[in-house]
Amino acid sequence: MSDTARFRLVIAGLGFLTFLLFLLSLTVGPAAVAFGDSLRALLSDKGDTIALVMQEIRLPRALLGLMIGATLGLSGAALQGWLRNPLAEPALLGVSASASLGAVLAIYTGFSALFPLGLPLAVQAMVGLSGGALTVILAGIAVSSLASALTALALNLSPNPFAALEIMFWMLGSLSDRSMTHVWLAGPFMVAGWVMLASLGRALDALTLGGDAAASMGVDMQRVQFLAVFGTAASLGAATAVAGVIGFVGLVVPHMLRPLVGARPARLLPASALGGACVLLAADTLVRIIAPERDLKLGVLTALVGAPFFLWLVYKTRRQML
């Protein structure tokens, strides 16, 4: 089988799996509703209990799982291709920590309650990086450390322990209790980020030959950096603002799919977007099945799975360098 045929088969398989997991996410939950009744209620205009559950609770949750998973997978693949580092992930740029701080401040000050756009605007206002790849990485580490410290300070000084506890639970990452308002607020930022990251395919293919070789082939390195950084910032910042920090998906998914699509980053980008959507939809469905009464947080589950994979990846990379 040729590489092109295998790539098309992988994309078709991931697309079909994403569709199935999206349907599963719509139909699994504490409310015992039959599959057929769930789908009919989704399109109903009666306003009964089942219709409200499907349209106001399950549909936004499934849509956010699809969109945030695609964001994590796509941004992880783009950053690994741009930095030419298999250990790169979206959090490396400090976007997740900055987004968390912006969201915590927006909630802490009540700005998000007075102005619904305050949450994503506070997140986007804290993102802005420039310089070369090394400078971006160093700045990302510094921003991440500072943002984490300021987030802890905000929690430490919170006059209301219940609000601090609520913020702590939010930071663990979850899709529960989300509405279509969250979808409409975060959606434009994520779509804008997707467009920027998806346009990097050919440039990332050229970068596999090295930065100098890519520049000699006409690749605008500053443009690539701008699109990679701000595409990740826009999409991941919006995702973190509405769902909290969900780690390791952007690291694990590209590594799982790279052997299937080959070494071309242009092919890994769409595959990772679909793969990330599959992983997050599956994980969100599992948290509803494993402990529905305990409200197991999505970020906890992805960290439990992703952290051992990350350690194995570090060990494998170290063995290859010896």
Q: What is the CATH number of the domain that holds 229?
A: 1.10.3470.10
pLDDT band for 103, please (50, 70, 90 cuts). Answer: low
Find the domain containing 88 and state its range: 3-321
Residue 107 confidence (pLDDT) above 70 = no
Q: What is the pLDDT of residue 134?
A: 61
Cα→Cα distances 177→64, 96, 158, 208, 242, Å:
11, 21, 23, 42, 10
The domain total for the chain is 1
pLDDT band for 117, please (50, 70, 90 cuts). Answer: very low
Rounded to whole angstroms, the Cα distance separating 178 from 116 reads: 14
Whether 140 and 93 have beta carbons less than 8 Å apart is answered as: yes
b/e burial code for range 170-202 (CB count within 10 A of at least 16 → b): bbbbbbeebeeebbebbbebbeebbebbbebbe
Interval 132-156 mean pLDDT? 69
Cα→Cα distances 228→108, 132, 150, 203, Å:
30, 12, 26, 11
> Poorest-confidence range of 3-7, 196-200, 239-243, 304-308?
304-308
Decide which of 112 and 105 is more confident.
105
Residue 258 confidence (pLDDT) above 80 = yes
Interval 245-268 mean pLDDT? 87
pLDDT band for 128, please (50, 70, 90 cuts). Answer: very low
**In the chain, pLDDT over 70 holds for what percent of residues?**
77
Decide which of 178 and 150 is more confident.
178
Tokens at residue 50, please?
């089942």
Q: What pLDDT digit, counting tens, does each position of 26-39 carry?
A: 888 766 666 677 77
Q: What is the pLDDT of residue 114?
A: 44
Interval 174-191 mean pLDDT? 88
pLDDT band for 148, please (50, 70, 90 cuts). Answer: confident
CA dihedral 219, 221, 223, 226 (to 10 degrees): 150
Rounded to whole angstroms, the Cα distance separating 85 from 304 reads: 23
pLDDT band for 119, please (50, 70, 90 cuts). Answer: very low
For the chain, the three-class secondary structure string (H helix, E strand, C coil) is: CCHHHHHHHHHHHHHHHHHHHHHHHHHCCCCCCCHHHHHHHHCCCCCCHHHHHHHHHHHHHHHHHHHHHHHHHHHHHHHHHHHCCCCCCHHHHCHHHHHHHHHHHHHHHCHHHHCCCHHHHHHHHCCCCCCCHHHHHHHHHHHHHHHHHHHHHHHHCCCCHHHHHHHHHHHCCCCCCCCHHHHHHHHHHHHHHHHHHHCCHHHHHHHCCCHHHHHHCCCCHHHHHHHHHHHHHHHHHHHHHHHCCCCCHHHHHHHHHHHHHCCCHHHHHHHHHHHHHHHHHHHHHHHHHHCCCCCCCHHHHHHHHHHHHHHHHHHHHHHHHC
Q: What is the pLDDT of residue 19?
A: 95
Q: What is the pLDDT of residue 9?
A: 93
pLDDT band for 108, please (50, 70, 90 cuts). Answer: low
pLDDT band for 99, please (50, 70, 90 cuts). Answer: low
CA dihedral 313, 315, 318, 322 (to 10 degrees): -130
Q: Average per-residue pLDDT in the chain?
A: 79
Residue 145 confidence (pLDDT) above 60 = yes
Decide which of 41 and 200 is more confident.
200
Interval 302-311 mean pLDDT? 80
